[in-house]
Structure 1
Amino acid sequence: MRLTYLLVFLLLIKQSFGQSSIKEYILKNAKTITSIYPNDTNFTDLEILRKTIGTKRIVMLGELYHGDGTSVQAKTRLIKFLHERMGFNVLVFESDFFSLNDGWKVYEDGGISLDSLIYLSIYPLWTQCSQFQWLTSYVNQSKAEQKLVLSGMDFRGYTGYSIRYLYKAIDSFLRLENIPFVKNEKAYSDYCSLLKQAPALVEGKSKTDMNKLLNYTNNILAQLQLLEIKDSFYIKVLQGQVQLFKMAKYYRYDSSYILTKKNYPLHDFQMAENLKWLVRSKYTNEKIIVWAHNTHIAKGTAINANGIDYNSMGYYFTQDTSLLNQTYIIGFTSFSGKGRLILGNVSPEIVTKPDKNSIENWMHSSGIAYNFVDFSNLNNSNIKSEPFYIKTYINTEKKLDWCKYYDGVFFIDKMRPCESVNNK
């Protein structure tokens, strides 16, 4: 019996000395990023990405806060590297799916300027951030033979472009398909009238009309499915409309959100479906960058600003093994600083102090302003992946096995808030 205890004791000692901690792995493998300045084209420090990303064709770039000006600058420099050195040529925003995809074609045909398209289609969270102007300038300057194409995957709300053109585009598509619903003049006329009012309806103007518009759209989709045009851009647009109208009912009419603070469950699902369509149908042979918040790109259950868990876009997207194997996801985080949403008169929000057992605290202890650590090689080390703290939002953190959620993390020691373009 004593011999058995002794053997167990020796085995435990061997394991404790033979296996390092996740903290040790992170500190040992963190690579210094020398600059986040968008015009710094000495990409020597970013060459680590070439090795870690390899042949993957989808790279997702997160952010801790939509008002994180430092992340905006850092991501712009990463995008330039991915575009110029690794051949990534499509940039998909967490912004209007219809506007950016329809609008890009109009732009290419000379029907709208690039500046107008960006202003009317990408959410003002970014376009009104002065640090974002580095990226818009770069897209403008990218040469025709190596153009950086803009796209979108979100379906929420109505951008300026959608308000101007979505109704006419849907009407033209439906008349061309000539489904039975279009031939019912009274019902179709009522649908068109409600569709014109949709921007106001999703903000809470009329529950009765919102329900009618949702029912009409479901009926239209059911008839379109019989035509077997599942890959159509407008199928995705109309599916997004259904989810938007359901979200309006949830957030504006049914008071469920006020009671639970839970995010609408199918928002991220539909963004994943839209991204899948872009990857598999529209940009089949292109290398794609995705710009979105950390909570959307994580590969597992995410946590929103209210501390409520939900399945993320990245989770739904990577449930398909073929897409998982093509995707590299980078979360962004900060130790301290502030962020500021450029939406009206909003005061900067402070990055709360992280837990002592957090990646932010470990990275901060190195005294380096910007770091990047790759998790994808963890399985080849003698270290077992284990839970640790990381920020999921500017003032929220959670202890999870984050190596299963992100393939890598970009660390910014001090976040600086977005500055309004109007103050420049």
Structure 2
Amino acid sequence: MLNRLLPFAFISIVFSACVKKDIKQFVTEERVDIQTISPDSTDFSELQAIGKAIGDSRVVMLGEQDHGDSPAFLAKTRLVKYLHEQKGFNVLAFESDFFALNEGWDRLEKQKSKIDPFLSSNIFSMWSKCNSCDDLLYHYVPKTYRDKNPLIISGFDNQVHGRYSNTNLKTFIDNYLKEKRINYANTKNYKIDFLSFIDSITYNKNLQKQLKFKEALQQISNELSAGDPKAFETMLLKSLMALTESEISFLSKKSDDSEIRDKQMAENLKWLLKYKFQKEKIIVWAHNAHIIKHPELIKNSKWHNNKETKIMGNLFTADPELNKQTYIMGFNSRVGSTGIITYKKYAVETPAKNSFETWIPETVPYTFVNFKQFREENPDNKKPFLMKGVYHFTESASWSDIYDGIFYIREMYPCARVIK
């Protein structure tokens, strides 16, 4: 009798091992709690689970729900240090000025007295003037150059806002076009419609001037023909075209200005990976809203109403090879307040009933959940669940298909402004 029961017992054990977990059970059982987000903590042992989840990825994207999320910046700083020191990531690319943080950074003398003012005036102020980014930008980055293990700064945003761009972009472009013997560069219209406008693309709200600038760029592009795809100047001109097209869309009251920007940011990031940093591993610092995959999976979205909306993250990972090489980590919080340093502070939304945030005990300050593992173990589970997944408000989506992992913060609070 015993012998007859053994096969059934074996089948029962195998069946039990194959039982799939729903997302709530997975979060409850598989989350990895983290005790500190302090950038001063040099014990990276509790981050090993994140390192294992990232694996051999060549790109790690780190998000944030708002550009004023102080604890998220502290957590990201600690993760940057870990990825740099333990996982071989040597490039930190910000959602900031493509020209300034590439051409400008490359030309910069890498001494603290030069690095500090450069980062302060060329990375968006929501980070460069936030006290929670102080350790990363003004202590850690300069230190890596003294330690002979440099962390290279880069940027992928086509918006022109840095001080280096204000001072050098016009001359850089003018010299390049004259070296290429562009006939248009010798015309009166070149000076009026193009050169005199290049410093104010982001801020000038004159639609006719934007349209004239776009025409000038198109004429330059026609003369350059296809251009060299490896050349920085080629991508820079494409970035400027996307910037003016985005401004024209906004001024014309169309709805695709953000999508134009995201598309170009994805192209700039691909260029960095393919040409400039062919042998490097890159950390991407940006908002959740720019790094997500599959925005179409968000049901009744409060921040976009077009199922075809394209985001940098899903445009970048649409390439199967890049998708394999990329790990996207969103950030999420339970309670508290936030707000960019230059804007009004506000309370974050209370978690919804039976939402992701409520599945984590209130005593847990920080935790990490590897959604990629859930997808691999439950490939057919696309069931949506509630989570504050992009901003500080709840939405329903199959979030495990949108992010590879999520970093949860129990209490959010805003940055304090620092002046360098």
Q: Which amino acid aligns with 1:212?
A: K
Q: How does 1:160-175 map to 2 (within 5 A)?
A: 160-175=163-178
- Deviation, 1:266, is 1.4
- Whole-angstrom CA distance in 1 between matches of 2:99 and 2:201: 18
Q: How does 1:51-130 map to 2 (within 5 A)?
A: 51-108=52-109, 113-130=114-131
- Whole-angstrom CA distance in 2 between matches of 1:166 and 1:124: 20
- Deviation, 1:55, is 1.1
Aligned match of 2:8:
none
- Deviation, 1:291, is 0.2
Aligned match of 2:210:
210
- Whole-angstrom CA distance in 2 between matches of 1:177 and 1:161: 23
- Deviation, 1:73, is 0.3
- Whole-angstrom CA distance in 2 between matches of 1:18 and 1:189: 69
Q: Which amino acid aligns with 2:365?
A: A
- Whole-angstrom CA distance in 2 between matches of 1:388 and 1:263: 30
1:357 to 350, 354, 357: 354
Aligned match of 2:253:
255
Provide the secondary structure at the position in 2 that maps to 1:412: strand
Q: Which amino acid aligns with 1:280?
A: K
Provide the secondary structure at the position in 2 that maps to 1:421: coil
- Whole-angstrom CA distance in 1 between matches of 2:164 and 2:121: 5
**Are the counterparts in 2 of residues 158 and 199 from structure 1 also a CA contact under 8 Å?**
no
TM-score by length of 1: 0.88
Aligned match of 2:190:
188
- Deviation, 1:240, is 1.1
Q: Which amino acid aligns with 1:300?
A: H
Instruction: Classify 1:180/1:360 alpha carbon distance in 2 versus 1 (closer, same or farther; 3 Å).
Output: same
Aligned match of 1:222:
222
Aligned match of 1:5:
none
- Whole-angstrom CA distance in 1 between matches of 2:229 and 2:320: 21
Provide the secondary structure at the position in 2 that maps to 1:280: helix
Aligned match of 1:369:
365
- Deviation, 1:410, is 0.3
Render the CA deviation track for 1:282-323: whole Å, top value 9, x for unaligned: 000001100000010111227787454532101000011111
- Whole-angstrom CA distance in 1 between matches of 2:387 and 2:82: 26
Aligned match of 2:162:
159
- Deviation, 1:391, is 1.5
The number of equivalent residue pairs is 397
In terms of mean alpha carbon deviation, does 140-149 or 34-43 score higher?
A: 140-149
Aligned match of 2:7:
none
TM-score by length of 2: 0.88
- Deviation, 1:358, is 2.0
Instruction: Classify 1:127/1:117 alpha carbon distance in 2 versus 1 (closer, same or farther; 3 Å).
Output: same
Aligned match of 2:133:
132
Render the CA deviation track for 1:45-84: whole Å, top value 9, x for unaligned: 0011221111111100001110000000000000000001
- Deviation, 1:140, is 1.1
- Whole-angstrom CA distance in 1 between matches of 2:403 and 2:390: 15
**Are the counterparts in 2 of residues 22 and 385 from structure 1 also a CA contact under 8 Å?**
no
Aligned match of 2:234:
235
Aligned match of 1:266:
260
Provide the secondary structure at the position in 1 that maps to 2:41: coil
1:176 to 171, 175, 179: 179
Render the CA deviation track for 1:4-25: whole Å, top value 9, x for unaligned: xxxxxxxxxx99x944311101
- Whole-angstrom CA distance in 2 between matches of 1:111 and 1:163: 22
Q: Which amino acid aligns with 2:412?
A: M
**Are the counterparts in 2 of residues 389 and 399 from structure 1 also a CA contact under 8 Å?**
yes
- Deviation, 1:196, is 3.1
- Whole-angstrom CA distance in 1 between matches of 2:332 and 2:72: 9
**Are the counterparts in 2 of residues 378 and 385 from structure 1 also a CA contact under 8 Å?**
no
In terms of mean alpha carbon deviation, does 140-149 or 322-331 score higher?
A: 140-149
Q: Which amino acid aligns with 1:414?
A: E
Render the CA deviation track for 1:213-237: whole Å, top value 9, x for unaligned: 11101221222234x4122111111
Q: How does 1:342-353 map to 2 (within 5 A)?
A: 342-343=341-342, 346-353=343-350
- Deviation, 1:372, is 0.2
Render the CA deviation track for 1:135-169: whole Å, top value 9, x for unaligned: 11110111352100000000124222211111111
**Are the counterparts in 1 of residues 349 and 394 from structure 2 also a CA contact under 8 Å?**
no
Q: Which amino acid aligns with 1:295?
A: A
Question: Are residues 1:421 and 2:415 paired?
Answer: no
**Are the counterparts in 2 of residues 373 and 409 from structure 1 also a CA contact under 8 Å?**
yes
**Percent of residue pairs bearing the same amino acid type:** 35
- Whole-angstrom CA distance in 2 between matches of 1:180 and 1:352: 57
**CA RMSD after TM alignment:** 2.4
In terms of mean alpha carbon deviation, does 152-161 or 79-88 score higher?
A: 152-161
- Whole-angstrom CA distance in 1 between matches of 2:140 and 2:254: 43
Question: Mind listing any 5+ residue stretches in structure 2 that lack a counterpart?
Answer: 1-14
Instruction: Classify 1:53/1:342 alpha carbon distance in 2 versus 1 (closer, same or farther; 3 Å).
Output: same
Provide the secondary structure at the position in 2 that maps to 1:56: coil
- Deviation, 1:201, is 5.0
- Whole-angstrom CA distance in 2 between matches of 1:112 and 1:250: 40
Instruction: Classify 1:305/1:165 alpha carbon distance in 2 versus 1 (closer, same or farther; 3 Å).
Output: farther
**Are the counterparts in 2 of residues 100 and 150 from structure 1 also a CA contact under 8 Å?**
yes
Q: Which amino acid aligns with 2:320?
A: T
- Deviation, 1:386, is 2.1
**Are the counterparts in 1 of residues 333 and 392 from structure 2 also a CA contact under 8 Å?**
no
Q: How does 1:401-416 map to 2 (within 5 A)?
A: 401-416=398-413
- Whole-angstrom CA distance in 2 between matches of 1:117 and 1:305: 37
1:281 to 275, 286, 297: 275
Aligned match of 2:377:
381
**Are the counterparts in 2 of residues 61 and 329 from structure 1 also a CA contact under 8 Å?**
yes
Q: Which amino acid aligns with 2:131?
A: S
- Whole-angstrom CA distance in 1 between matches of 2:113 and 2:263: 31
Instruction: Classify 1:198/1:305 alpha carbon distance in 2 versus 1 (closer, same or farther; 3 Å).
Output: farther
